[in-house]
Structure 1
Amino acid sequence: MSAVPAFRFVTAALAEERDLDTVLHLIVTKLSELTGAERCSMHLLDRATGLFHGTVAHAASDIDSAVRALVSGGPGDEFTREIVRTQRPVMVVNTMVDPRPLQVAMRRWHARSVLGVPMILRDEVIGVLCLDSEDVVIEFDAHHQELALTFAELAATAVNQVQLTTRLRSSLTTQAEQLSMLQQAARMEGQLTEILLRGWGVRELAETVSRLLSKPCWIYDADFRCLAQGNLDSPPVRMLDGELRRLPAVATLLAALRPDNPRVLGPLPRADLLHRLMVAQIVVDAQCWGYVVVAESPARFTSLDGAIVRRAAHNIALERSRARREQDIEWHAVEAFTGSLIRGEQVAVDSRAQGLGISLDSPRVVCLIGPGGDGLLDLTPKALALLMSAPDAPSAVLASPSGNDIALVIEVPSALAEADAVAWVRAQATQMLTELRHTAPIFVAISTIIRAPGDDVSAHTQVRQVLRAMRTHVESPGDLVLAASDIGAGRLLLASADHDGAQRFARDALGALLAPGSKHEELLATLNAFLQCGRGVRRAADVLHVHPNTVRYRLANIEKLTGLAVTTDDDAYLTAQMAVLVLRLSGRLPLVPLTLT
């Protein structure tokens, strides 16, 4: 067979895009026929190891399986190494005396004469063609060697072409799969965006994510309280609860989370977490708001899962950010309106109140909250309003800055009597201080009950006086809640009096009653009860749990010691009232008014 038809036959097979194995078999078969070699085999380079592996062969019998088990080019195989080094054919006339081939292989195959030809592609030997005779010494002349080189080049081209075609087809398949996945992701993201535009909540989003991915989904807040879940009718899957959160592996993953970068956790068999979890962080205004978590059940995670979980977290962040902005705008309107109320600004007050859903005819108080000392209150009006909101409150609490303090307007239940309404507000303030747990003391002043639209100004004046009196005269450390009704009209004088002057006034007025001794303490307590009961002897006796005559006797002794005829002399009564009020503020007497028990 001449070389030209054989060459044409092989190139036609290449043009028909036959598979690589068929083309390579054609090459070794035609080359064996043209050179008269009994056997022809092809060995291709493995770039990972630098060795050559048998690929196809031609012989009188089928030796493909045996050839595929051959590895050449290793230590001691100088025959193959010389072919690679010189990139030229290497001829071994007699393997029995030539040390270059591996003798073990030569004896096994009974190979007596061998011709090795490099397959060169872009100056690199990518394979070796071997022609040999079995038990016969033959010599492949220069013509045969050039012919073998031509077919080796054709084989290298065939390998390269088939590899390029395979990669191209694989790339096209991958691109088609990616396009399909992107189209699917776009459809899914469209559904998630529709939830956002319609203003639906996290429950609908969790259910949608679960349905789109066919996997359970949970949405948590920053403290890992479960806000919503979308579970399929699949076997129960453990959720990411508080107990799991404390595990080192979980804590490390959560600490490493970043926006738009979901991470995969688990499985953790010892913690009974048998499925992997994909976790995405929800960040709103640079703070962690919560997490979207999807379980790898029943199917494994794909890149599409990551894209959808990331989009879900992003959409929740957008919705929460929008809601916060709306709340901030609404709250700014509330602050501005509250400031107008306590300052007496009458600019469209009625219409603004109606727009905010506020009734100016409802019973309410004004509270003023501020630091006990000279510091600043590190709380916002909105935060304090939320803390002071009771479950049974008729309406939301209004708040506004008042200098360095914060003023609140609190509607009280209309069914409560005035004293009970003040007590209701006092309870809310006490609860608020308990929840805050501040190290620095906080003072709360409560006005009397007001009902008319213009009364907020006078109520604000009341609490400013009370708060000023507290800061000037209160000596005991810690938080304090005081109502205007607790100190009465005395707040007017105490708000403008200095601490030392007030203490001197109390000592001058009460004199011997302030001396140590249980008898004096008893008389002082009786005077305090009598004054707080509005000169009512019987009421004071009930408060003190003594006979009315005992009260009268003690009041007579007080008059002897101080000269204050509190039962008959109005001036003496007012003097005693102011002096006792100073003692109450300084902690010598109970600050909150006495009540019957």
Structure 2
Amino acid sequence: MTPPAPDSTALLRLLGGLLARAATLAGFTSADVLVSDISRGVLLPLPGIGSASTPRRVRSDAPLVRRALNASDTVHASGRSLSGTELDGPGVARVGLLRLSEDGAEPACLLVLTDADPTVDFTDQQRTVLAAHRTLLSDAATAVLDTEEHKRRWRDLEQSRHLAAERTLVDERLDDAVTAVDCMSAIVRTCSALAGKSVLLFDRRGRTIAAAIPETTGHITAPTLTDILRAYSTGTPTAPNPVVLAAGPTTGLTRRKIVTPIIERGEHFGWLVIDEHPSPLSPTDEYAAARSARRIGAQFLVQRRIARVAWNAKSSLTRQLVRGTGALDDLAASGEYLGVNIHAQRVLVYILASHHDLADSERVLAEWMERDLGVEVLSTRGSEGILLLVEAREDVGALATVARVKDGLARAANALFQGQEFIAGVSSICEPTALARAYRESREAVLCIDRFTGRAFHRILAVDDLGPARLFLAHGEISAVRHFVDDVLGPLLRKAPGTVDLLHTLQCWFDTARNVRGSAQRLGVHENTVRLRLARVHALTGLDVAGDASDQLSIQTALLVLRLQGHPALETDDDNWAASDSDTPPAEAQRHERRASPGSPAKERRSA
């Protein structure tokens, strides 16, 4: 049970009676006691005592006051000696000052007698009467001061007790929030309820993670984190210590705010901001901010661990799905636990990761693709590359899905791997049971790109872009493939007049499903021109591209190799065959052009 506060009422009545009697006997109308305040260098009226004529504040170094404090007898002043001093005031024509405390004792007590009649004399008898009452007045004033000091300490203890109770409540409520809900938004809501103010949680980039306002508060406009931190002048934070930011033109804030960095184990995760609305800030608010920041920091660490474990588990599940290992029921149970639908159709992407910086970007790439395509993307990393399993939406066709995946990969390559090689093979849509075959096919597509394409390019091809020729290109000897191209199209690769048009016509012929009219429209020529060019190809190469299926397969395969090499005569409408950097220097472009020169296979064969 809390003891009652000390009561000084009786002592004040006693002291008041003694002062009135002393004033009457000394010939004054009123008497009061001033007590020194050493920290401010002034004398102030004793609490609970004072009349209208008593000065509210007297400087300790005032000449008349200093003289009285150094004297052992009453100092009397009137008329000119009183004029202009802090003791001069309405209804005060003369004063008497008598030090009540012992010489050098602190705080010093000074008896102040005032009277409105300047003609009254201050006699020796009155001086003697005051000296006789001096000890009694001093003891009474000291008793009042001691009681007031006890009251101050009692108030401090009560305030400390209330503050401790409030802080205990803060910890209990925050612990309950963590136990019951275990999320950052619950901690923010609890902090807002405890403080009765608006609370915002930002990450380091300034994005709002969670926000809460009291139920009695309407909508308010909060400044951005950038505006708030502009007033944060404590340097780089190293601990979750709350800082109160003042409002005003110097800070640009309309209301004060408590800003607490979210720091846990030396890592800075974000900022917690308490807005001074609708009630003023209090010390408990700062404590609530500090404790909330510590718990939110712990949540950041926990969530990161969970995300890391979940990511590793998803990576393992992805590897099992691709390899086809593990019982279907076990995979389904793991998928359900991780929130993965293992029965969904997916597109497998194989990305060649010959450099460590690309290999370490598996998670970044998968998360980027998820945000860009709006579907689930699983990933895993092997010794040779990165695998992505991109979920296929049911409302999008198979060809459109593959095209969306290729476009998304192109955007990701330009955003994340600009200036680096990026080679990817994309499978067609497949069921979970066909992922192993999709892996082999997409890997073969990557091998085709890697073997015949310049490294400075971002190359993304689907398995269907290559057709069955990928088996020959992926596993055949490079020199044999080049000899094959020279044997098939050698006469068209020697830069003879008109051969570029012949190669371009062959490409259009196959791209339009061997349709003369379609080829003519794409080339912008007459249909007979297409027929004449095909006849000329027959004459130069001996291959009947218009009528022999075997010759068509040979020429189509050779054209595919030239397209992989980036032959300038074989244009492509696929944006995924773009260079990784649009500002590639001319010398670099020329180097790659020479490497994929149309005459190089024939030259190698002749040199051999």
Same fold, TM-score > 0.5, yes or no: yes
Q: Give the corresponding residue for 1:240.
A: 223
| Residue 334 of structure 1 pairs with residue 308 of structure 2 | no
SS at match of 1:400: strand
| 1:383 alignment partner AA | V
Q: Give the corresponding residue for 1:170.
A: 152
Equivalent pair of 2:420/2:456 in contact (CA under 8 Å): no
- The Cα offsets for residues 304-329 of structure 1, whole Å up to 9 and x where unpaired, read as 33333444454444445444433332
- Aligned 1:362-511 pairs, distance under 5 A: 362-370=344-352, 374=355, 376-377=357-358, 380-389=361-370, 396-403=376-383, 405-413=385-393, 418-433=398-413, 436=416, 438-451=418-431, 453=433, 455-475=434-454, 477-495=456-474, 506=485, 509-511=488-490
- The Cα offsets for residues 441-487 of structure 1, whole Å up to 9 and x where unpaired, read as 4332212443362x433432333333233334323744332112222
Equivalent pair of 1:250/1:265 in contact (CA under 8 Å): no
Greater mean alpha carbon deviation, residues 399-408 or residues 160-169? 160-169
Equivalent pair of 1:422/1:483 in contact (CA under 8 Å): yes
Distance 2:212 2:113 in 1: 70
Greater mean alpha carbon deviation, residues 130-139 or residues 509-518? 130-139
Offset of 1:399 from its aligned partner? 0.8
Distance 2:37 2:330 in 1: 85
Offset of 1:525 from its aligned partner? 1.4
Offset of 1:583 from its aligned partner? 1.8
Equivalent pair of 1:422/1:448 in contact (CA under 8 Å): yes
Equivalent pair of 2:264/2:294 in contact (CA under 8 Å): no
- Aligned 1:214-363 pairs, distance under 5 A: 214-220=196-202, 222-225=205-208, 227-230=210-213, 232-234=215-217, 236-241=219-224, 245-247=225-227, 250-253=229-232, 258=237, 260-265=240-245, 267=247, 274-282=254-262, 291-342=271-322, 344=323, 346-348=325-327, 350-357=329-336, 362-363=344-345
| Residue 528 of structure 1 pairs with residue 493 of structure 2 | no
Q: Give the corresponding residue for 1:585.
A: 564
Distance 1:140 1:230 in 2: 69
Offset of 1:397 from its aligned partner? 2.2
The one of 44, 47, 50 aligned to 2:38: 47
Equivalent pair of 1:119/1:129 in contact (CA under 8 Å): no
- The Cα offsets for residues 194-219 of structure 1, whole Å up to 9 and x where unpaired, read as 34333276666665555544444455
Equivalent pair of 1:237/1:295 in contact (CA under 8 Å): no
Distance 1:398 1:346 in 2: 17
Equivalent pair of 1:19/1:162 in contact (CA under 8 Å): no
Offset of 1:366 from its aligned partner? 1.8
Q: Give the corresponding residue for 1:556.
A: 535
Q: 1:284 to 1:553 in 2, by over 3 A?
A: farther
Q: Give the corresponding residue for 1:513.
A: 492
Offset of 1:44 from its aligned partner? 3.7
The one of 81, 95, 101 aligned to 1:119: 101
- The Cα offsets for residues 365-420 of structure 1, whole Å up to 9 and x where unpaired, read as 3212245x745217543333333337987x73221012253111234346766544
Offset of 1:523 from its aligned partner? 0.6
Offset of 1:332 from its aligned partner? 1.4
SS at match of 1:440: coil
Distance 2:122 2:397 in 1: 125
Equivalent pair of 2:425/2:461 in contact (CA under 8 Å): yes
Structure with more contact order per residue of length (Cα contacts < 8 Å, sep ≥ 6): 2
Q: What count of residue pairs does the alignment treat as equivalent?
A: 550
- The Cα offsets for residues 133-161 of structure 1, whole Å up to 9 and x where unpaired, read as 964664899xx69x94x965665555444
Distance 2:358 2:280 in 1: 52
Equivalent pair of 1:115/1:140 in contact (CA under 8 Å): no
Equivalent pair of 1:285/1:321 in contact (CA under 8 Å): no
Q: 1:49 to 1:435 in 2, by over 3 A?
A: closer
Q: 1:273 to 1:518 in 2, by over 3 A?
A: farther
- The Cα offsets for residues 235-259 of structure 1, whole Å up to 9 and x where unpaired, read as 6532224xxx554x65343985856
Q: 1:581 to 1:103 in 2, by over 3 A?
A: closer
| 1:376 alignment partner AA | D
SS at match of 1:388: helix
Q: 1:523 to 1:121 in 2, by over 3 A?
A: farther
Offset of 1:338 from its aligned partner? 1.6
Greater mean alpha carbon deviation, residues 357-366 or residues 500-509? 500-509
Greater mean alpha carbon deviation, residues 428-437 or residues 263-272? 263-272
Distance 1:126 1:279 in 2: 44
Q: Give the corresponding residue for 2:601.
A: none
- The Cα offsets for residues 227-284 of structure 1, whole Å up to 9 and x where unpaired, read as 544354546532224xxx554x653439858564344456458999644444444557
Equivalent pair of 1:486/1:593 in contact (CA under 8 Å): no
Q: 1:123 to 1:461 in 2, by over 3 A?
A: same
Equivalent pair of 2:359/2:381 in contact (CA under 8 Å): no
Q: 1:485 to 1:160 in 2, by over 3 A?
A: farther
Structure 1 gap segments, 5+ residues each: 1-14
Offset of 1:426 from its aligned partner? 1.9
Distance 1:514 1:337 in 2: 49
- The Cα offsets for residues 540-586 of structure 1, whole Å up to 9 and x where unpaired, read as 56765766654443222123334444456777555534432232122
Q: 1:17 to 1:115 in 2, by over 3 A?
A: closer
Structure 2 gap segments, 5+ residues each: 1-5, 576-608
Offset of 1:333 from its aligned partner? 1.3
Distance 1:44 1:361 in 2: 87
Q: 1:157 to 1:467 in 2, by over 3 A?
A: farther
SS at match of 1:408: strand
| 1:336 alignment partner AA | S
Distance 2:521 2:396 in 1: 24
Q: 1:157 to 1:493 in 2, by over 3 A?
A: farther
RMSD: 5.1
- The Cα offsets for residues 66-105 of structure 1, whole Å up to 9 and x where unpaired, read as 564795864655xx657756xx73588x999xxxx96879
Q: Give the corresponding residue for 1:8.
A: none
Q: 1:230 to 1:375 in 2, by over 3 A?
A: same
Distance 1:266 1:161 in 2: 42
| 2:176 alignment partner AA | E
- Aligned 1:31-42 pairs, distance under 5 A: none
SS at match of 2:312: helix
Q: 1:288 to 1:131 in 2, by over 3 A?
A: closer
Q: 1:483 to 1:117 in 2, by over 3 A?
A: closer
Equivalent pair of 1:83/1:118 in contact (CA under 8 Å): no
SS at match of 1:428: helix
Taking structure 1 as the reference length, what is the TM-score of the superposition?
0.72
Distance 2:255 2:74 in 1: 62
Q: 1:553 to 1:286 in 2, by over 3 A?
A: farther
